[in-house]
Amino acid sequence: MVKINESYLKLKAGYLFPEIARRVNAFVTENPDAPIIKLGIGDVTEPLPDACLDAMAAAVKEMGDRATFKGYGPEQGYAWLREKIAAQDFQARGCQIDASEIFVSDGAKCDTGNILDIFGKDNTIAVTDPVYPVYVDTNVMAGHTGEADESGKYGGLTYIPITADNEFTAQIPTEKVDLIYLCFPNNPTGATASKEQLQAWVDYAKTNGSIIFFDAAYEAFITDDSLPHSIYELDGAKDCAIEFRSFSKNAGFTGTRCAFTVVPKTLTVKTSSGEEVQLWKLWNRRQSTKFNGVSYIVQRGAEAVYSEAGQAQIKELISFYLENAAIIRKELESVGFDVFGGVNAPYVWVKTPEGLTSWDFFDKLLINCNVVGTPGSGFGAAGEGYFRISAFNSRENVLEAMKRITTAFK
Ligand code: PLP
């Protein structure tokens, strides 16, 4: 008899974004002329940088010529891209990361899920609360959790609250956990981690033999020079951390698809028989077996991010979104909202007014302002009473949405 992976049945049915879509569609069916502005889902809105477009156009031409045509590339990514990533994203910041430790992929989302392939089933796992839901759901799918309770928390996971009460820092757990997911700048709260805070995590991981999965998908939004962009800026991180990066949010590649994962060769774990195994070897094997690389064209586009023109253009893009975030912060504060994040991150995390639940506030914004955001409770129980507003939108939409909200909540 065929058996399915019954762990999938543990997944909460009302996944956040489908539920948002359901409510918006119901509202639009009844109010077909409502001028809805979506500041919910974290997708970029601005077109690709010219440098990336030009590089991809040239690569398309190469594919049309027998002399320059490319078939399968290296599963780990082309050396010319890995070398630029290693040099500019890491070595330039004093992190001794080698090109061979970079694995180019088609997304940080897939990588943060796929990484579980190389780990055993009996690890204790910690996630922050609120959290990027992919970390939790991929562990549910892999059979690493129990059932979810009423608030959506899964048995077997350690939840680390990040709330206003602890100034949005992830407090180090008192118990020992094996795998820890950290994301800074944080989705959804927009919070950042200082060098001291991250160093404390690295020290914890080294003391306890834990591995940190560090998701730095939003590192490009860091404007404060004192904040670390990579976990490898901290002493000892190469022995205990895997870092995930993406071109989605810095260069607008959400639809183009390119990302990378860093697995240092110094990162080792002992087998049950005491043998020391390099995680790099396992990930390399996993990628070579289950992945055939990112398209040549897209990798050329990603490479152009590291050109002088590319760097200037992505800076402009990021500044644009950060200015949106600053407008959102300022306008909401002007009518008395408590706002967090949105300074070194594209997300503004808002305390719901009048003690409204996250979903009640969602409905109120939708009905009264025709603005869609994301209820904080959808990211975890500790997100209840908060709301995420994304700065990924046109200036016109941001200004209009803020005008409507400040008028409604004056
Ligand atoms: N990691 C975080 C924290 C995210 O918020 C997102 C997308 O919203 C991703 C990863 C996905 O990145 P990618 O587009 O590279 O799959």
Please name the fold of domain 52-307: Aspartate Aminotransferase; domain 2 (3.40.640)
Closest C-alpha residue for ligand 1 atom 1: 217
Average pLDDT over residues 374-383: 93
CB neighbour list of residue 148: distance below 8 Å, 6 or more residues apart = 10, 12, 140, 154, 155
Centre of ligand 1 to C-alpha 96, Å, is 25
Residues contacting ligand 1 via CB (< 6 Å): 42, 107-109, 132, 183, 187, 215, 217, 246, 248, 254, 259
CB atoms within 10 A of CB 203: 15
* pLDDT tens-digit series, residues 36-45: 999 987 899 9
pTM: 0.97
Nearest atom of ligand 1 to the alpha carbon of 259: 15
Q: Which residue has the tokens 């639809």?
A: 255
Q: Which residue has the tokens 């939409």?
A: 397
Angle at 130 between CA 250 and CA 214, to 5 degrees: 50
Provide, rounded to the nearest whole percent, the portion of the chain with pLDDT above 90: 93
Task: Report pLDDT for 40.
Answer: 84
Centre of ligand 1 to C-alpha 362, Å, is 23
Contacts of 278-281 with C-beta under 8 Å, sequence gap 24+, read: 279/118, 279/211, 279/242, 280/101
d(CA 310, CA 314): 6
**Where would I find the beta strands (DSSP E) of 14-124?**
37-38, 102-105
pLDDT at 259 exceeding the cut of 90: yes
From the list 199, 258, 195, 251, the residue with the least C-alpha distance to 221 is: 251
d(CA 147, CA 39): 31
Centre of ligand 1 to C-alpha 305, Å, is 18
Centre of ligand 1 to C-alpha 346, Å, is 12
Average pLDDT over residues 229-244: 98
Task: Report pLDDT for 115.
Answer: 98
Query: In the structure encoding, which two tokens stand for residue 373, read together?
Result: 């955001």
CATH superfamily of 6-47+309-408: Aspartate Aminotransferase, domain 1 (3.90.1150.10)
Task: Report pLDDT for 358.
Answer: 96
* pLDDT tens-digit series, residues 175-225: 999 999 999 999 999 999 999 999 999 999 999 999 999 999 999 999 999
Domain boundaries, the chain: 6-47+309-408, 52-307
Query: In the structure encoding, which two tokens stand for residue 97, read together?
Result: 């990361």
Provide, rounded to the nearest whole percent, the portion of the chain with pLDDT above 70: 99
Query: In the structure encoding, which two tokens stand for residue 25, read together?
Result: 């569609």
